């Protein structure tokens, strides 16, 4: 059995789960998420506990078993608690500001980069004196949040010599030594 797939998911209070055929819907205080499950994987809801099972031990079924259990768990946690990711801009002159769902970034290019965020994501930007500008993204959808955060990071990845770029808060950048002067 899959070690992840066989773990039961307890549904917290205030979260409503419905399984209709191959569609699983999860509704909570932070929104509603739906996922289409492969027809071979069986999802059962009994007494506030969700269990995911597979029909055979084929490699494909084993892979999907853990995948769908993790996706359902992420949906349940997302609508009850939500997810949050923080990024910081490291570099002289790097700035971030937002107006509604538009994120405007000054990243050392000849023009500012304007990034439009999906409506499911809530954004806040902070620029304090003596600190790197911060971007905070919050959402109930972990997949969407991760994709948007990765896209923002890809606009200016941290470089290994000075560490300039957009990085996740707490991320450690592997640094390289620069050129060394030759000794004569």
**pLDDT recorded at residue 180:** 78
From the candidate CATH numbers 3.90.930.12, 3.40.50.1820, 3.10.50.40, 1.20.120.1200, the one assigned to the domain spanning 83-168: 3.90.930.12
Q: Are 117 and 148 in contact (CB under 8 A)?
A: yes
Query: What is the tens place of the pLDDT at every residue in 140-159?
Result: 999 999 999 999 999 999 99
Tens-place pLDDT, residues 37-69: 999 999 999 999 999 999 999 999 999 999 999
pLDDT of residue 69: 94
CATH classification code of 9-80: 3.90.930.12
Q: With contact defined as beta carbons under 8 Å apart, do 149 and 138 qualify?
A: no
Within this chain, domains 9-80 and 83-168 share the same CATH topology: yes
| Domain chopping of the chain, boundaries | 9-80, 83-168
Please tell me the predicted confidence (pLDDT) of residue 5.
86
Is it the case that residue 1 has pLDDT exceeding 60? no
Half-sphere exposure of 91 (CA within 13 A, CB side): 22
User: By three-state DSSP, how is residue 168 classified?
Assistant: strand
């Amino acid at each position: 059995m899959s070690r992840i797939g066989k773990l039961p998911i307890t549904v917290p209070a205030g979260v409503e789960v419905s399984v209709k055929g191959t569609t699983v819907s999860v509704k909570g205080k932070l929104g509603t998420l739906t996922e289409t499950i492969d027809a071979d994987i069986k999802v059962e809801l009994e007494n506030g506990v969700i269990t995911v099972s597979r029909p055979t031990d084929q490699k494909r079924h084993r892979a999907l078993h853990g995948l769908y259990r993790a996706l359902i768990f992420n949906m349940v946690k997302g609508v009850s608690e939500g997810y949050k990711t923080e990024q910081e801009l490291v570099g002289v002159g790097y700035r971030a500001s937002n107006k509604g769902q538009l994120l405007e970034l000054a990243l050392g290019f000849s023009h500012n980069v304007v990034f439009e965020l999906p409506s499911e994501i809530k954004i806040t930007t902070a620029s304090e004196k003596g600190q790197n500008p911060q971007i905070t993204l919050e959402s109930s959808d972990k997949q969407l949040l991760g994709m948007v955060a990765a896209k923002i990071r890809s606009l200016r990845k941290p470089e290994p010599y000075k560490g300039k770029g957009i990085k996740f808060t707490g991320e450690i950048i592997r640094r390289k030594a620069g050129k060394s002067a030759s000794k004569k």
